[in-house]
Chains A and B, each alone.
Chain A
Amino acid sequence: MKRKIRWALTAVLAGSLALAGCGGGDKPAGGNAEPKTGGTLNISLDADPPKLDPAFSTALVDRMVFQSIFDKLVDLDANGKIVPMLAEKWEVSDDQKTYTFKLRQGVKFHDGTDFNAEAVKFNFERNMDKASTRRNELKEVDKVTVVDPYTVKVQLKQPFAPFLSVLTDRAGMMVSPEAVKKYGDDFANHPVGTGPFIYKERVKGSTITLEKNPNYWQKGLPKLDKVVYKVMTDSNVALTNLKSGQVDITNRFPFKEIDSYKNDPKIMVVNQADQGYQGMHLNTKKPPFDKKELRQAVDLLIDRDAIVKVVLNGAGTPGHSPFAPSHFAYGDSDKYEKPNLEKAKELLKQAGKPDGFTFTLKIGTTPQNQQLGQMIQNMLKPAGINVNLEKVEFGTLLDQAKKGNFEAVQLGWSGRPDPDQNIFDFVVTGGSNNYSQYSNPEVDKLLNAARVEGDEAKRKALYDQAMKILNDDAEYIYFYHSNTVFGVSKAVKGFTYIPDGMIRTANLSLSK
């Protein structure tokens, strides 16, 4: 009986959907605000995702699309806590070196193959391969073993506190082993996961179309029929599309427009702290910044409140550490001094440069980069420090930073859920993102200790200690933690902001 009712309901639903599809613009004017199922959600992206393959992805914008196609072993909730997803539960051994995951049963990949322990093992090994960009995140993993069809054991070389956090992002996304075998190098053009939506087609530079996964493991989800990601590189273009209804969510919102949409009846501006930070690397191996006092002087002259107010239009938090406000390590380590010209001049004198000095700051090419650069220029001028701004296209900027070919370079980080992922590779000796070529055995020791520490409070204490040294050494000048700002049409129901700044589509529906 129950089954029959369900069939009848499905038939009615399908019928009404078909009608709505044919009816063009005229939607039935139902009075209830109850979110409906079905419909197409359009999300604009500020860049074309380069690679739809979690193992090889390097761009922030890829991760946006991944949320709909791939499920992860674990996910983040709205409070930034780690919650089960494809792994129903897990146990950590007493020595913190073995994680045993119990997997959700009855989950299928979009190509119909089973999700099971073998698939998890396959994914770990694929991500640990030397070609994978995930390799670095998983380098503490020693061995992955299949215990039974739905149990996987992951052994680490040493305790690694950020391990679960890592699995809430690309390294924990499960792709279909069969599809990888079938498509090989071309998998990025045929992504297959277990997520709420199935990859349908893509027009490079324009759209990525996903269709509902009718066999999704979460009952009643997804609610939409289709999700279409549209590439709109100009945020004003995206905004006009949001206003005209061609787009329901924009992943970037022009900072300057935030205030004017506060009371808009149709558009909600989501303005929330994300996990990243911005600042500049000072090259500790090259004059002038091989002198600590000069680095400290620059640090002391930066007016972070002014930067947040002007460059971000208030959509951010002034900062002095790599830990965003949502991290447990945030707080003590983020305290900074108000700009202090006298003290800065004192430091210049100590370094033997009482009249100041000149350096070149390399920045990206966006108007925002330029504005930031000019503000820094003006803030340092009173102490006699002259800044030559050199605008460099992003790819080149990264290349030059990696090669240590700079005096100062403005580069930030989009952020990750665990503090370790935002600090370790940036400051430890020889770290892959340690562009400042900084090296301090004490910091190395503290950060390695924080990595293996399971207790949050103890970890925070270790980070506080490390930050004290780092802020004194000032090899990187932290400016701010910016917010993620989305424009969301009020027709979109079920939108929840997750602190990693990624849009989850499974729960969304449209009431228009």
Chain B
Amino acid sequence: MAFLVRRLLLAIPVILLVTVMVFSLLHMLPGDPATVILGQEATPEAVAALREELGLNKPIVIQYLDWLAGVLRGDLGRSLVDHTPVSELIAQRLPATLELTVGTFIVAILIAFPAGIISATRPGKWVDYGSTMFALGGMSIPHFWLGMMFIVFFSVKLGWLPASGYVPFADDPAANLAAMIMPMVATGLRESAILMRMLRSSLLEVMHADYIRTAYSKGLKEWAVIMRHALKNALVPVVTTSGLLVAGLLGGLVITESIFSIPGFGRLIVESIFARDYVTVQGAILVSALLVVVVNLLVDLLYAIIDPRIKVGKGV
């Protein structure tokens, strides 16, 4: 418990630092938000009025502190573009990305574990070469291309799956899955390749350890040795990689979201940057940073479950 609290407290300066960096970087971008929002037709008076209204004439430090004070009151501010509360925008967009992340990760595990285990136990055999080839392919083929090919094949040619049209899971689970399966598999294939490579090399290393020989010499079957002894010890680097993958996916699904027209979190950030909607970008980055902290925390906790020698209380 003490560990948890300390970890969470440590996260606060990290998150603050992230927001300060984002805030200053965004303001370093050339281009005036008021001009971007009002566009080509704006009169100078209208631009001046909007700058005043948005508080853009205040010093940047004051703007940042204003925003921070709002956050502490639980108010992420309102979008510069259309005055929608930022928290509402995030609440609209986050579920799709979370679902996509979880789904992608499940797809990745479902492929990576069997493939990684089989190839690690038969090094140098054709299954090993086969899955190594698959992994190489998976990492090399751009997932946006794969996504497009899926659409062309499954939506346009066969007409089995919708090419777009995200429906929230709560509204219609079947339609939701139909819309999400292609993006999940397209990105999942790539992530599975990375995980599989990790698992294979980590397993191979463990398989040469003394305790595995001991296990064999006790007369245990191969299957039991791998599942009970080897896999558990090979998992630590895999969990680390998974944590990084999930954290990366949370903000990095922009391309997948664009191709499949999924109203996700990644697109929200990118669109807001283009619209110079600082307030929305700030809020979204804050939430994103929080999510990464949570994922890292979960990874740390998982370590402790996998390997009790890694004492949670002592820090890792």
Contacts and interface: CB of A to CB of B under 8 A. Distances in A.
Contact of A205 (B32, B35, B41, B268): B268
Among the interface residues A232, A395, A398, which one has the most CB atoms of the partner chain B within 10 A?
A395
Contact of A58 (B32, B42, B261): B42
Interface string B39-70: 11111111001100000000000000000000
Contacts of A340: none
Interface string B223-265: 0000000000000000000000000000000000011011110
B261 A399 contact: no
B92 A204 contact: yes
Contacts of A88: none
Interface stretch (B76-84, B100-108, B110-118, B210-218): B76-84
Contact of A230 (B164, B268, B274): B164
Contacts of B130: none
Given A51-B82, A185-B83, A393-B31, A241 B40 contact: no
A7 B287 CA distance: 54
Interface stretch (A127-135, A315-323, A373-381): A127-135
Contacts of A433: 40-41
Contact of A244 (B84, B151, B263, B271): B151
Given A204-B92, A231-B261, A244-B151, A399 B43 contact: no
B37 A50 contact: yes
Contact of A204 (B43, B93, B159): B93
Contacts, number: 131
A244 B153 CA distance: 10
For the complex of A and B, list the 4 residue pairs with the smallest distance between their C-beta atoms, beginning with the closest. A206-B263, A58-B39, A395-B36, A396-B31
Contacts of B43: 135-136, 432
B163 A241 contact: yes
B301 interface: no
A491 to B, nearest CB: 15
Contacts of B32: 399
A368 interface: no
Contact of A237 (B45, B164, B275, B276): B164
B42 A205 contact: no
Interface residues of B, number: 48
B43 to A, nearest CB: 5
A433 B263 CA distance: 34
B163 A246 contact: yes
Nearest to A203: B263
Contacts of B37: 50, 58
B29 A396 contact: yes
Interface of A: 48, 50-52, 58-59, 130-133, 135-136, 185-186, 188-189, 203-207, 230-234, 236-237, 240-241, 243-247, 393-396, 398-400, 402, 411, 413, 432-433
A399 B162 contact: no
Interface of B: 29-32, 35-46, 49-50, 81-84, 89, 92-93, 148, 151-152, 155-156, 159, 162-166, 258-259, 261-264, 267-268, 271, 274-276
Contacts of A203: 92, 263
Nearest to B33: A395
A48 to B, nearest CB: 6
Nearest to A397: B31
Contacts of B151: 237, 240, 244
A399 B30 contact: yes
A132 B37 CA distance: 12
A393 B274 contact: yes
Contact of B261 (A52, A230, A245): A230
B156 A244 contact: yes
B166 A206 contact: yes
Contacts of A188: 82-83
